[in-house]
Structure formats: structure tokens, C-alpha cells
Structure 1
């Protein structure tokens, strides 16, 4: 979820995509908080989640957009022959881990100072089951390490675990991406098939790693993709981009739209959910190629959202949970009215106080490691 670098600096729309996706995740968690009350009105929960409104709250699917973005923007610099792997690893891991630790400590502070009494929220709800109401030192250490599979202090950290795995395996992704470059269409189909299989047999690695790889495929194919989009745009391609955008959104939320005939938990629903990664990749292609999408996503508000998106992603659940425990999830509309602006304000402060210094430290650490290696004398030939 790091910001674009190198060649992607000219693709400001990608920052806009990142910002929009972060807001979708925020709205998704708001609906999970409000679900007990929304289900009291017949058909309201289904109307929100199984209709064309679903893209506004498709949080799990928005995370796949993040994964494709990371596969793209992290791979592009690595494709250069001058890329410094010794600089990359410490820099990348610091950029990920320091904000994570900051977010965990922020959430712990809220848990300690804001009472989380069980009677304030609905039993067996998302807040009751998936958000911590107390913490231990061992739990803080475990979640900050990004080693567990599930998280309750900052429950979005499950996705950062996969970001770390992808970041460590980046050389493999780049090598494979370059190897299949001439058969990228086939490679994309195989990746999508693996994602579908992963959903059906419930193997997360088969779902998420191919999603990152779709981003890597876009990275290795970027010159050809840009040449193709330039030719299309010169001929006028509004219908093409509109169709691709609608189709991509459709794939992203296909499992939800099909709920009436493919109930959650069925193999068909799982298979349709496996197509969400393809939809995420399609939206990234639209953001890169569509002139209208680029103008919209490069506007001031989407770019600001993109700037604080990582921080917003990390802090919004602790803020939402704290407000809900104080007010009660029965008044979900008031929780939303308070927690949304509070999340944006705290995200900006977190961006300034934690994320930006982490980026500076990451750059310095990477440069120091690289310079130390450069100073190591070459062995004398015997």
C-alpha cells in the first residue's frame, strides 16, 4: 500500500484509486457495525449489500485493489537494472512495520482509556466478536509482528501480513512476471483460476498472491499497455472504458449480486468471489488508461485521500469501535456521524506524525545499508 514511485509518479490517478478504496473500507466497517440494526428492517441489509450500491461498501474487495496496486507500484522500480535490492528490503519493511506498530499502540491507548463495556454493543455482532475490548502485552507483540492470521486490536492488519509476504517475495514475482511477459494473457487467466480455486478450497495464499501478481503483470506490460491505450484514446474510447469499468465492478461484487441464487458458503458463491481480483485489476487498468478516470481520480480530493489512505486504513477501526462502545451501536447513525470525520482528522495527524517520519527513516536506512555495502572492499584475488 506504499505510494507510487518511479514511473508511476506520472500516474496520479493511482493515488486517487488508493484513496477511494480506503474510504470504501471505512464505509464497509461502518455497515458491519450497523448490521444488527439494519437487519431489523426487512430487506435493508440485502438492499445495501446485494444491489448496485454494494461497490460503496465492498471493503474486502477494496483490499484486493490495494493488493493489485502494490503489485504494480512496488514491481515497477524493481524492473530497472539499477534497482538496489539491499536498499529495498530495509526501506520497504520499515515503511510497513513502523506505521503498523504506531497503529497498534494508538489502538491500545484507545482500549485503555475508552471503556469498552460489553453491554454497550449487540452480542455476537462484528464489534463483539472481531474487535478487542482488552489487550495483553503478548497480543500487542503478536499483532505488531504481523505473524498471526487474525487480528482484533487493529483487525485490518491481516492484509498487511500479505503485503509483507509479497514484499519479501518480490524478486520471485518480478522474475516470473518477466518470464511470462510474452504470454501475459495466459498468465492472467491462470492467476484468476488460482484465485477462484483458492476461494473454493479456502486457501488464502492462492487468493492473495495471484492478486499481487496481476499487479506485477501490469507493471511488466506497462509500455505495451500505454501504447495500446494511447491508440484507443486517439480514436475515442469512452464506450470501451465505460464497459471495462462496469465489467470490472461487476466482477468485483459478483458474489454479492448473485446471493439470491448462490448463497454465501456455496461453491458457486466462493468461485464468484474468486473473480473479485480480476475486477480489481480491471479497475487499475481503467485508472491508467481512461482519460475521464484519470481526470476524476487526479482531482484534489481523491489525491488528498490517497495521501492519507494508509493512515486512514490503519486508524479508522479503533476510532469507530471506541465511538461505538461509548455511544452504543444501537445509535449507529450517530456513531457514523462522529467517527467518519474523526477518522479523517486522526488519519491526517497519523500521516504527519507517524507515516511521514517512517518514510524518511526508511529512506535513510536503505541508503545506509546500501552505502555500507559499497564500502566493503573487494576480496583480493589469489
Structure 2
């Protein structure tokens, strides 16, 4: 398998998991968003880390001549353009919230305070917000905390590739072990989010080495691959829907297994995931993941304005969360579907206007043309 070849089923899974994260952040009374599975869908961020480690190792893990400048530019212009644009949108949205407050419509928090304080802008621009205990880890576009972790994990990965050769696997394993120890001991200079991301990312790198060894010895038939894919997918659904106290650890282990299995692209689920609609979701996954919070924020603001105008309880607060409620279960579920369509539609636009053009700009800085698919996701 050439290093530029994509894992189509895994790309599609990334898109599906991104939509699951959307439903995790969306709260609609009596709808599918309140199913136990979606209430644990935040764990899919670990899947993204595992998959990123797997894919980047496929592309660069065996290199002995890694061009650090090229690597840095490609990774920066893969992640930063959309993140920076949406940070600007969130800053503008704080001004909108401030204007709404002048009209008597108040969100749960005052504009430009806490996670939206101006002091958090520079950490977000530098993508360090999730690494330190001195910054608001979930500031502004809060899903971007994982982009903060991922960006610097790429640089750590590049440093390992540059400084090691035959012992890279041992270094990756060491990072996983140390990160897990730091995570569960609460020690070290970084946040628990950073240690969790490091452990999952480099576990993904190790998964690629396992996959590489397996594919040289084993070529699973369609029936066996289909069975394994269904079992792996079903196990993830069961674990995320359960009350298992070690749910996070079990889910991460299953994500490692699932990424390795689906990389073969050999079973019935993989065949379904390679259809055009799922491939589209895979391409849009990064935009889906980063754009959905601002869409949900605008929708919540709209419902709060309507609540104030009509007197109906359209945006009730339960616990720490603002819910949406039309008053009818069927209409609430329809609202969920419309939100997903809106997120996909906006993501289609941001993918082509920002992501693709951002990557083109990075390739122009390198002074040559590089096929977009050669930039691993």
C-alpha cells in the first residue's frame, strides 16, 4: 500500500464519528440526542487521535529523510486556516451576545468572560490552549481543544522520526506508557487532555505497525472481515451505551482494534463506508467537527429570542445545559435531523472555501504542486 493511498473506510468512520460528536453537543428534549450512546459520544475524540496517529505513521513513520519544513507547513495549513477563521467567528459572536444582552436576552455566561475572555485569544491562535493548566482548555470554539493537542503531537511525532530509526516503535510505546501513567497519577506539567491525546495518538502509531505486520501475513476473506467489522462496531455501540465505570479505557482499546481492522477495507461494513455519501462525510469531517458549535450557538440564541417573544419554554435549562424544545417529540427529532443537515451544508462550504484553499496556500509556500490527497488527514 503506497504511503499516499487513503484508507477509505476509516475516512468515512471519521465523518460518522464527527456527526456523533455534534449530537453529543446538541441537547433537544425527548429526542435521539438523549440516548445513552450519544451522551458518551465525546469519547469519539479518542478515536480521532488514534486514527490520526495511524494515518500519519502510514505516511511518514518509515521515513529516514523527513523534510521538517515541508511537514510543518503541510500540517499547519491543514489545521490552522479553519481554526483561525472560526476563532474570528466566535469573537464576532461574543459581540452579538453582548448586543443581545442589551435587549434583555442573556446567555448562561456574560460575553467576553471565562472561556470567552480576550486573554484566551492568543493561546487559541498558538494552539496551546489545551496543553497548560494556566489557560482555559475549552475556550472559544471548544472542540478545538483536540486540534490544539493534535497539532503539537504531529511535531512530537516528527521529532521522533528525525531522531530515531529502528527504535521508533519503542519510543512510541514509551510515550504511550508514560502518558497513561501521568494521566492516572495526575502528575506532570501538562493537562489530562494532553496526556490522553498523546496516549491515543501514539497508540494509533503502534496500531499501524501491527496492521503493517498483519497484512504481510494475513489477508482476511470477505466473510471473516465482515464478521470482525460488525463485532468491533457493535462492541463500540455497547460500551458507549453502557454504565461501565471503565468506559473510556475500554472505548480507547476498541478504537485501536477497530482502526486496525477497518484499515483492511475488506468487509461488508467497509464496502458500505466506501460509498459516495459516506466518503463525502469523511472529507467534511474536520469542518463538521469545528463548525458545529457555532451553528448550535446561533440556533440556541434564536430559540432564546423566540422564547422571550412568545413566552413559550423553547430553550429550558436543565443542569448545566441549555436544551431546545418545540413541545412535540416528533418535531424535536425533526429538528435534530435539520441541524445535522445544516451542519453538513455549512461544512461543505467551509471545506471548499477554507480547508481546500488553506492547503493550496501551504503547497504554494512549498513552491510546488502537491495532490491534496497526499496530505494525510
Alignment TM-score > 0.5, same fold: yes
What is the aligned partner in structure 2 of residue 345 from structure 1? Answer: 345
TM-score if structure 1 supplies the norm length?
0.73
Change (3 A) 1:62 1:238: same
Q: Residues 295 and 343 of structure 2 are in contact (CA less than 8 Å); yes or no, is this contact kept in structure 1? A: yes
* Cα distance in structure 2, aligned partners of 1:77 and 1:345: 30
Deviation of residue 98 (structure 1)?
1.7
Deviation of residue 100 (structure 1)?
0.9
Per-residue deviation, residues 137-188 of structure 1 (Å, max 9, x unmatched):
543333222222323321111101111120110135547795265999xx49
1:298 aligns with 2:281: no
1:179 aligns with 2:154: no
Give RMSD over aligned pairs. Answer: 3.7
Count matched residues: 329
Change (3 A) 1:105 1:234: closer
> Which among 46, 70, 95 is matched to residue 87 of structure 1?
70
1:62 aligns with 2:24: no
What is the aligned partner in structure 2 of residue 156 from structure 1? Answer: 143
Structure 2 gaps of 5+ residues are: 131-136, 305-314, 317-323, 326-331, 369-377
Structure-to-structure mapping, 1:196-345, within 5 angstroms: 198-199=183-184, 201=186, 203-230=192-219, 232-233=220-221, 236-250=224-238, 253=240, 257-258=242-243, 269=245, 271-289=246-264, 290-328=266-304, 329-330=315-316, 331-332=324-325, 333=332, 336=336, 338-345=338-345
Q: Specify which structure has the higher proportion of helix.
A: 1
Per-residue deviation, residues 235-281 of structure 1 (Å, max 9, x unmatched):
74443343333345555x2xx6225xxxxxxxxx3x44233321221
Per-residue deviation, residues 71-125 of structure 1 (Å, max 9, x unmatched):
11222222234542221112212322221101111223334346554976885xx
1:108 aligns with 2:84: no
Structure 1 gaps of 5+ residues are: 260-268, 369-382
Per-residue deviation, residues 29-76 of structure 1 (Å, max 9, x unmatched):
113xx4xx55xx9xx99x722xxxx1x453321111111111112222
* Cα distance in structure 2, aligned partners of 1:198 and 1:18: 25
> Which among 110, 122, 126 is matched to residue 145 of structure 1?
126
Change (3 A) 1:208 1:360: same
Change (3 A) 1:153 1:59: same
Q: Residues 198 and 274 of structure 1 are in contact (CA less than 8 Å); yes or no, is this contact kept in structure 2? A: no
Structure-to-structure mapping, 1:345-364, within 5 angstroms: 345-364=345-364
What is the aligned partner in structure 2 of residue 375 from structure 1? Answer: none
* Cα distance in structure 2, aligned partners of 1:359 and 1:13: 23
Q: Residues 120 and 139 of structure 2 are in contact (CA less than 8 Å); yes or no, is this contact kept in structure 1? A: no
Deviation of residue 214 (structure 1)?
1.5
Q: Helix, strand or coil for the counterpart of 1:308?
A: helix
* Cα distance in structure 2, aligned partners of 1:204 and 1:279: 19
Change (3 A) 1:75 1:309: same
